[in-house]
Structure 1
């Protein structure tokens, strides 16, 4: 019986040490990931802006930051962790910070305007393709110019909180406005920041996994020690007396 307890205790200690080693390896990988993420943000100088009171601001106002946060929380249903937004560490390196920066780009894209310049050749081609009337009358989707005869010049098209798929790509004004608003740069920045948010979340999960392994390791080691202690406290078996 005592021999079995001793073997069980030894096995539990070995298993616990294995978990602890795994926790150490996992933590080192997570730590390296955090260092890389921070270095990437430092090199790009990607930071959030706060006022002297520690409140987020956008273009100098807290109202702008509040509107962006509303887009992130209310429209995208993202669970922002307030503790991740640290005015003493404005470098973007947490999931909430990455998502806020992404929402900033999207917000200004949605509420921006695009200036579309038409040349005589553009208008002639639009008349030929029946995107304009025979006399150059515009009957497209941009309300500000509906019914007007378009001449060569620059026309302002509001984005009006529309995403890429909500524009009319064949429209003489709306099509180029879509390309200008949701440019390759805008899409690339949104994608990059989204990946940053996912990376930060994965690193947090990795940290939790390392903690779980460490906890299991400590439990197994402790149980193994307890089994050894019980084994020592058991009375030794008396040798059988010969008759």
Structure 2
């Protein structure tokens, strides 16, 4: 039995004619549901849905009053349709912007393809650099903000495994602007120190041997 991937499902979906909203007649948009449980806790049951994002749709405009009067919530509904079916339902929204970030357009698909190819290329380069112990090239990928996040995280791990002491300063100084990447970089620094039996002087931040009693750079005595 062949299992269809999410990418294959989307490709098949893009080839389909989009349904029209039963309330307003507008063509519905492909929408990628967030990864969370919904309604009965079983999830959405599909990686994509068709959703009407027409703010003039009667379902949406009248839903605000209904939700307020019935449930006391400031919310409304949008019509949705399960792909490859004629099953229409509604889903709650809490603002006119709700869900728009998950709308799948040709541009978002193209961007996903670009990231996928860049990730594949990045991992291929990392494998090559790891084999040749080219830690500087791995570090370069890590510090390149245009590289996909997955590539940079893997690069951080590899720098910790094969990086020289010279990699520590850029790892400490670079502003990753991302807590996860920053944490991965600091873990890499710790691994480099562990491999080389070194540490950074708490006074001048220069690298010294772990068993040093006095910093050879600033002359400060170190506590043991």
TM range (shorter): under 0.3
Name whichever structure is richer in helix by fraction.
1
Name whichever structure is richer in strand by fraction.
2
RCO higher in 1 or 2 (8 Å CA, sep ≥ 6)?
A: 1
TM-score normalized with structure 1 length:
0.23
TM-score normalized with structure 2 length:
0.25
Say which one has the larger Rg: 1
